[in-house]
A = this chain, B = another copy of it.
Amino acid sequence: MVSQTHLTVASGDEDSAKRHQIMDGARRVFMDLGFDGASMNEIARAAGVSKGTLYVYFNDKNRLFEAIVEQESLDHGKKAFNFDPTLDAETSLKAFGRAYIEIICRPDGGSAVRTVMAIAERMPDVGRRFYDHVIAHTMRLLADYLGARVKAKELAIDDCYLAAAQFIMMCQATLFQPYVFQVKPAPTKEQIATVVDSATRVFLAAYRARQK
């Protein structure tokens, strides 16, 4: 039995409906307005609970924010980018690239990155954990896959983690930054396909094992 709030152990557990309701409202407000821009008043309104109730479930604004980022991280981590190590690189990279960009360029995806990045200086732990769970985690998954393809002699890569990062970054080219800086709306599937395909081409040109 995990007692998570200090005084009044709030209705049931970490998984109470109210708790979810609060986190849902808070996520929207935090992601839209940033940590400082979001007021507990507005969060309460968005969540459809009273201000007091917020504090029954979360000790303070920081803790509420951290809980949301943590949740976001877990959700993200669960999106298993099902890498099949026996599948060929071109197919896998394209599929992964599309899925990845679709996630981070969805309203909430981008906002989470932006929101956490914004607060990282003042809440380094939050930044660190988010980076590790969301960004580095994905890179590690991809790196592992690449390692498998190296073993399978399809690819020739020295530093698989660096290569994974390169691929992920290339997939974002011309898509993520305009989106996060509010220059363009979320990219269409076609735009994503174009960029991811190009990234895949470049990647394979450099890293495909030269067959004899």
Whether B7 pairs with A41 at a CB distance below 8 angstroms is: yes
A-B contacts, 27 of them at CB < 8 A, read A7-B41, A7-B45, A34-B121, A36-B36, A111-B121, A114-B120, A114-B121, A115-B118, A116-B181, A117-B118, A117-B181, A120-B180, A120-B181, A121-B182, A124-B182, A127-B181, A128-B182, A130-B181, A161-B174, A162-B198, A165-B173, A166-B173, A166-B202, A168-B173, A169-B169, A202-B205, A203-B206
Question: Do A181 and B128 form a contact, CB below 8 Å, given A170-B169, A202-B203?
Answer: yes
Assembly CA distance A134 to B177 (angstroms): 12
Q: Which residue on chain B has the smallest CB distance to residue A123?
A: B182
Asked whether, in the complex, the Cβ of A201 is within 8 Å of the Cβ of B195, the reply is no
Within 8 A of B (CB), among A93-124: 111, 114-122, 124
Q: How large is the interface on A (under 10, 10 to 19, 20 to 34, 35 or more residues)?
A: 35 or more
Alpha-carbon distance A198/B199, docked complex (angstroms):
15
Measured CA separation A30–B211 after assembly (Å): 54
A14-69 contacts to B, CB under 8 A, are: 32-37, 41, 45
| Residues from 165 to 212 in A contacting B, C-beta threshold 8 Å | 165-166, 168-170, 172-174, 177-178, 180-183, 195, 198-199, 201-203, 205-207
User: Which 4 A-B pairs rank lowest in CB-CB distance, beginning with the nearest?
Assistant: A118-B118, A36-B36, A165-B173, A205-B206
Which B residue's beta carbon lies closest to that of A32? B121
Cα A182 to Cα B201 with chains together (Å): 32
Interface residue? A83 (CB, 8 A):
no
CA distance A119 to B111 in the complex (A): 11
A81 part of interface (Cβ distance < 8 Å): no
How far is A32 from B195 in the complex, measured between Cα atoms in Å? 34
Q: Are the CB atoms of A34 and B118 closer together than 8 Å?
A: yes
A111 nearest in chain B by CB position: B121
**Nearest Cβ in chain B — how far from A204, in angstroms?**
8
